[in-house]
């Protein structure tokens, strides 16, 4: 039996294809890192994921306190279930917390979406990625540069397996279901911002709002709960751009529908960079770096290090829209099956 760990919004789309292809007993452990319906519960409904076998209820708190609480809550669950392998996904706090807990009890860890690097250690996600990859026994990667990163860090080649991008499996499977979901009429830009570097400093967030007002089209902004809280706390709600419509967090299908119909997406999300590259929607990433460089090389994505550059970056992306996008290798809707095969092969080796 293996434990499949999920806790935050991006995890659900990535774990779903592995669950669908699994030919081994498993239990889904939901840490509760994201806990409201739009950020968590709706994903089980819309993706058709089985309900979690275990819910730890560890939402909220600082990065440090949340990581510690997840470790403390997962430990008795781990010991009671005694899984042969623990599979963690992505780069959220739940990923590192459960990986550390498993390794401390001698249980091997598989990291799905290993090897991604922004080379920016001020990002909490980068620290989670680096540490998880150093303690995982099997590293399942989405793109070729991830293998280069892992080898450079001293991980053995035989621990690395190219499976592709399971989140794209979910996108391709459910994209047809978004056709009838209503979206704003006419041309609009979709905005999604949640990184601490962008939304946890009043002056930076105000600079972003000022830049967004200079984008020459209507903006639709489904705001992350933390972003909404900061806007209210710092009195910025009254400084919202006149061309911007603020929305609450969206469920998965509604957000995909907005992405699909947007003229351009302005984001700081890693997953959105990937989804827009597959859908052919121009993307401006408001960050100085990305752990997904393939989206800049083969997709629609461009980095925008400073908020003041957003309007020009939007214009550039719209004018550079590609009629036909090159396919990104292994982002073909079959990554879940390859990941399941790799986990099963590893599981059989562990139990032999």
| Catalytic annotation, residues | 194
Mean pLDDT of the region 233-260: 93
Question: Does pLDDT of 350 surpass 80?
Answer: no
CB neighbourhood size of 296 (10 A): 16
Q: Cα(248)–Cα(221) distance, rounded to whole angstroms?
A: 8
Mean pLDDT of the region 302-320: 95
Of 94-108, 171-185, 222-236, give the lowest mean pLDDT range.
Answer: 222-236
Identical fold at 2-165+332-351 and 175-319? yes
pLDDT, position 219: 98
Contact 256, 178 (CB under 8 A): yes
What are 38's two structure tokens? 């739009």
Measuring CA to CA, which residue among 221, 227, 211 is closest to residue 191? 221
pLDDT, position 59: 81
Q: Cα(332)–Cα(172) distance, rounded to whole angstroms?
A: 8
Question: Does pLDDT of 38 surpass 60?
Answer: no
Residues 6+ apart with CB under 8 A from 319: none
pTM: 0.94
Mean pLDDT of the region 324-334: 90
Mean predicted lDDT score pLDDT of the chain = 93
Of 54-58, 255-259, 317-321, 342-346, give the lowest mean pLDDT range.
Answer: 317-321
What are 27's two structure tokens? 């239990």
pLDDT, position 124: 92
Question: Does pLDDT of 35 surpass 90?
Answer: no
- With helix as H, strand as E and coil as C, how does 291-338 read? CCCHHHHCCCEEECCCHHHHHHHHHHHHHCCCCCCCCCCCCCCCHHHH
Question: What is the CATH code for 2-165+332-351?
Answer: 3.40.50.2000
Sequence ranges of the domains in the chain: 2-165+332-351, 175-319
- What is the longest distance spanned by two Cα atoms in the chain? 63
Angle at 149 between CA 146 and CA 155, to 5 degrees: 105
What are 23's two structure tokens? 């030919």
For 8-64, where are the E strands, in sequence order? 26-30, 54-55
Residues 6+ apart with CB under 8 A from 180: none
pLDDT band with cut points at 50, 70 and 90 for residue 34: low
Question: Does pLDDT of 72 surpass 90?
Answer: yes
Q: Cα(127)–Cα(123) distance, rounded to whole angstroms?
A: 7
What are 309's two structure tokens? 């550059």
DSSP 115-177: ----S-TTSHHHHHHHHHHHH-SEEEESSHHHHHHHHHTT--GGGEEE---HHHHHHHHHGGG
Question: Does pLDDT of 36 surpass 90?
Answer: no
CATH class, domain 175-319, is alpha beta
């Amino acid at each position: 039996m293996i434990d499949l760990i999920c806790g935050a919004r991006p995890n659900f789309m990535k774990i779903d294809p592995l669950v669908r292809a699994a030919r081994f007993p498993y239990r889904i452990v939901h840490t509760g890192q994201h806990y409201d319906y739009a950020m968590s519960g709706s994903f089980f409904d819309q993706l058709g994921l089985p309900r979690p076998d275990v819910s730890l209820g560890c939402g909220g708190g600082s990065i440090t306190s949340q990581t510690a609480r997840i470790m403390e809550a997962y430990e008795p669950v781990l010991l009671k279930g005694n899984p042969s392998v623990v599979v963690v996904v992505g780069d959220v706090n739940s990923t590192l917390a459960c990986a550390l807990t498993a390794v401390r009890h001698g249980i091997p860890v598989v990291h799905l979406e290993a090897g991604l690097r922004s080379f920016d250690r001020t990002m909490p996600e980068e620290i989670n990625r680096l540490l998880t990859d150093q303690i995982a026994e099997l590293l399942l990667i989405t793109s070729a540069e991830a293998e280069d990163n892992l080898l450079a860090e001293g991980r053995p080649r035989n621990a690395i397996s190219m499976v592709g991008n399971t989140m794209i499996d979910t996108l391709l499977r459910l994209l047809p279901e978004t056709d009838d979901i209503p979206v704003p009429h006419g041309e609009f830009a979709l905005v999604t911002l949640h990184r601490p570097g962008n939304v946890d400093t009043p002056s930076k967030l105000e600079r972003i709002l000022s830049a967004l007002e200079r984008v020459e089209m209507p903006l639709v902004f489904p705001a992350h709960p933390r972003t909404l809280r900061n806007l209210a706390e710092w009195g910025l709600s009254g400084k919202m751009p006149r061309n911007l419509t603020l929305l609450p967090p969206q469920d998965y299908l509604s957000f995909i529908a907005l992405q699909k119909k947007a003229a351009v997406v302005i984001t700081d999300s890693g997953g959105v960079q990937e989804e827009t590259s597959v859908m052919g929607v121009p993307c401006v990433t408001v960050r100085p770096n990305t752990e997904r460089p393939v989206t800049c090389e083969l997709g629609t994505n461009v980095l925008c290090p400073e908020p003041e550059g957003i309007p020009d970056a939007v214009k550039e992306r719209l004018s550079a829209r590609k009629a036909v996008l090159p396919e990104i290798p292994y982002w073909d809707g079959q990554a879940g099956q390859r990941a399941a095969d790799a986990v099963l092969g590893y599981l059989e080796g562990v139990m032999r």
